[in-house]
C-alpha cells in the first residue's frame, strides 16, 4: 500500500513537471539590444524596453506609452522594464473575448516576469494596469517585492463607480466643464477613423477629466502605439464589469502604494478614501495631478514612492 502511494506521488510529480516544461516551451525571450527585445508567448510578441539602474521594476501595459511618463530621476533608482500587455502588443494572435479572462492576463505577466528573470521586482501599474497588477499580486505575492498603483480603480464598472465619477464631476469648475463640452464637439466623425484611433481621440478629448491642466494635449503619449480596440473594450466592459478589489478581505497581498490625483475625474480618489483601512496599503493624493501624477507632479511623486519604499513615509491625512 505504501509502495502504491509512493508510486502515485512520483507519477504525479513527474506529470506536473512535464506539464510545466511543456508550458515553458511556448515562452521565449528575443533580445534586440541590451535594452530592448520581446517575450514570445504562444505566438504573441510582448515588447519590452529596459531603462535605468537600480532595483528591478516591472511596469505593466506599454513599452511605448509608459517610458514617456516616468522621470529621469527615477531611472537612477530603478532598472525599469516597460512591457506591453496583449492589447498593446503589435503582434499577437486574435483572441476570442469569451476565451480571454483575468487569469489569462496574469499568466501573461508571470510568463513575462519569469522570462526576463526578474526576481522580486517592484511592480507598477497605471490606470487599469494597476488594478491588473493587484490581481497578479493576489496570485503571486511571493514573486514581487512591492506594488505601486497609479490612478487605478479599486471599484469599477458598477453603480458605486458611476456615482463617484458623477459626484466629483459636479465639483469641476464651469471652465473645465465648458472645455469638455467643446472638446466633444471637435471630435472627428467616428466613421472616418479606425476603432484604435477613436480610442486615442476620445482619450485626448477627455483631457479636462484626465489632467490637472484641463488644456493639456496628451496625444504625443500615444504616438506609434498599437491598440487592439476590441480586446481593450473587452477588458473594460467585460472582465472588469462590476469589479470590487477588496470584497471580503481587508489586507493587500503585498506592500502597496496607491497614487491618486485630486483632479482625476475618471478614477476619483474618493473610491479609495471611502474604502476604509486596508492593511498593507498606503494611499496618497497628489494635490495638483489628474490621472497621471508620475508625469504631472514627477518630483513629488518620486519623493513619495522612494520614501515609502525605504520605509520612511510618515502617516498623514491622505494615508490609510
**Average pLDDT for residues 175-202, to the nearest whole number?**
97
Q: Average of pLDDT values for 223-232?
A: 96
- Can you tell me the mean pLDDT for 268-273? 97
pLDDT at 92: 85
Does residue 282 surpass a pLDDT of 60?
yes
Burial class (CB in 10 A: 0-12, 13-18, 19+), 100: middle
pLDDT for 312 beyond 70: no
d(CA 202, CA 3): 66
The pLDDT of residue 200: 98
73-97 pLDDT, tens per residue? Answer: 999 999 999 999 999 999 988 888 7
Helix (H) or strand (E) holding 169: helix 159-170
What strand order describes the sheet that includes 122-126? 27-31, 36-41, 44-51, 78-84, 55-61, 122-126, 146-150, 251-261, 279-286
Smallest Cα–Cα separation from 133: which of 118, 119, 147, 143? 147
Please report which confidence band the pLDDT of residue 313 belongs to, taking 50, 70 and 90 as the band edges: low
Is the pLDDT reported for residue 100 higher than 70?
A: yes
Mean pLDDT value across residues 295-301: 99
pLDDT in tens, 147-157: 999 999 999 99
Domain definitions of the chain by residue range: 6-158+238-309
pLDDT at 112: 98
Task: Provide the terminal-to-terminal Cα distance of the chain, rounded to the nearest Å.
Answer: 55
- For the ranges 21-30, 63-72, 227-236, the lowest mean pLDDT is seen at 21-30
Displacement of CA 103 from its chain's centroid (Å)? 15
Are 140 and 158 in contact by the 8 Å Cβ rule? The answer is: no
What pLDDT is stored for residue 17 in this prediction?
A: 39
Residue 183 pLDDT > 70: yes
Q: Which CATH superfamily includes the segment(s) 6-158+238-309?
A: Alpha/Beta hydrolase fold, catalytic domain (3.40.50.1820)
Amino acid at each position: 500500500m505504501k509502495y502504491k502511494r509512493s508510486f502515485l506521488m512520483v507519477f504525479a510529480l513527474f506529470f506536473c513537471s512535464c506539464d510545466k516544461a511543456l508550458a515553458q516551451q511556448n515562452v521565449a525571450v528575443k533580445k534586440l539590444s541590451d535594452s530592448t527585445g520581446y517575450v514570445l508567448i504562444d505566438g504573441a510578441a510582448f515588447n519590452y524596453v529596459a531603462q535605468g539602474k537600480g532595483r528591478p521594476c516591472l511596469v505593466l501595459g506599454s513599452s511605448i506609452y509608459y517610458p514617456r511618463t516616468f522621470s529621469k530621476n527615477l531611472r537612477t533608482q530603478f532598472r525599469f522594464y516597460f512591457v506591453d500587455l496583449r492589447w498593446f502588443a503589435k503582434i499577437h494572435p486574435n483572441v476570442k473575448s469569451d476565451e480571454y479572462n483575468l487569469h489569462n492576463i496574469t499568466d501573461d505577466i508571470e510568463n513575462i516576469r519569469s522570462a526576463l528573470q526578474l526576481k522580486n521586482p517592484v511592480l507598477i501599474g497605471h490606470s487599469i494596469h494597476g488594478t491588473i497588477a493587484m490581481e497578479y499580486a493576489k496570485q503571486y505575492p511571493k514573486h514581487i517585492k512591492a506594488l505601486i498603483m497609479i490612478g487605478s480603480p479599486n471599484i469599477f464598472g458598477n453603480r458605486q463607480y458611476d456615482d463617484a465619477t458623477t459626484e466629483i464631476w459636479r465639483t469641476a469648475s464651469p471652465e473645465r466643464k465648458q472645455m469638455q463640452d467643446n472638446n466633444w464637439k471637435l471630435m472627428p466623425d467616428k466613421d472616418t477613423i479606425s476603432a484604435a484611433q477613436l480610442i486615442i481621440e476620445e482619450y485626448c478629448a477627455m483631457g479636462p477629466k484626465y489632467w490637472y491642466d484641463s488644456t493639456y494635449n496628451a496625444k504625443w503619449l500615444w504616438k506609434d502605439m498599437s491598440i487592439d480596440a476590441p480586446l481593450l473594450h473587452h477588458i473594460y466592459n467585460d472582465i472588469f464589469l462590476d469589479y470590487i478589489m477588496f470584497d471580503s478581505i481587508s489586507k493587500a497581498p503585498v506592500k502597496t502604494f496607491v497614487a491618486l490625483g485630486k483632479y482625476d475625474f475618471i478614477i476619483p480618489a474618493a473610491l479609495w478614501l471611502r474604502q476604509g483601512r486596508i492593511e498593507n496599503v498606503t494611499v496618497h493624493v497628489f494635490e495638483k495631478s489628474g490621472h497621471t501624477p508620475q508625469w504631472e507632479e514627477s518630483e513629488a511623486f518620486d519623493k513619495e514612492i522612494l520614501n515609502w519604499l525605504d520605509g520612511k513615509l510618515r502617516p498623514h491625512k491622505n494615508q490609510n
